[in-house]
Amino acid sequence: MRLLMIGDIVGRPGRRAVKENLPGLVQEQKIDFVIANGENAAGGNGITREITRELFTYGIDVITMGNHVWNKREVINFIENESRLIRPANYPPGTPGKGYGIYNTKNNVKIGVFNLSGRIFMPDLDCPFRSAATILPLLKEECKIILLDFHAEATSEKIALAYYLDNDISAFCGTHTHVQTADERILPGGTAYITDVGMTGPYESVIGVKKELVIEKFLTQMPKRFEVAAGTYQFNAVRIDIDEQTGNALSITRIQNYE
């Protein structure tokens, strides 16, 4: 089983990067299932119904979200009925949408995908550790292969949760910082791990935003409306090979493509 996890898609440049890179990668590297973080896909903040449909046409099977999930208010009207779009599962009970799902790959193998948000330097949601412990038994009833997108800021929180879940999930993919880390590895219990998958969006930018606007904000400390940068893109992802019988990861490989 070969999975592809795409790092945070940012605005129009990120969507173009997916359109131009994903079909070839799926064919050349024989990818069985594609997950992508899409919480910045619409102008750098949130996602719309139209953009959700657009990303699915490029070959993405499941879209995960994060702290910007509600920035485009229209998402509330369709997230409940779109099973392939999941938001962090540790939002309080009664929040629209779901935080996990079970899907079939091209080879008709079931895979569980769930999404959690961190709490350090992030909105104070329910405990991701306890939320994971609640969700895992539900996924394990049907799946050997389970992937988590942990949308979090602090590296310590990501590493701690990964060790907490080692041997219980196949892959732990960190998102949110928009900077791909070079620490991919297989943990002792068989879980593939990377602190952050990185960003799929404008290359000449400050994590996707026009660099001039960010610099000005740092210099003046005045409120500034951020805009997605234009120009060339970067495509960040990881490819993960998993043993279908055990659910353990066999390898994790970083992917960095540039326009």
State the catalytic residues: 68
* DSSP H or E segment with residue 254: strand 249-258
Q: Let me know how long the chain is.
A: 259
| Residue 41: closest CA among 61, 14, 79, 80 | 14
How far lies 203's CA from each of 142, 157, 259, in Å? 40, 27, 9
- The packing angle between helices 49-57 and 11-28, to 10°, is 30
The single-letter code of the amino acid at 86 is I
- What is the rounded CA–CA span in Å between residue 159 and residue 18? 28
* Alpha helices by DSSP H, the chain: 11-28, 49-57, 75-78, 128-140, 155-165, 211-220
CA 127 to chain centre: 19
How far lies 46's CA from each of 67, 70, 109, in Å? 9, 6, 30
CA dihedral over 2, 21, 175, 181, signed as positive or negative:
positive
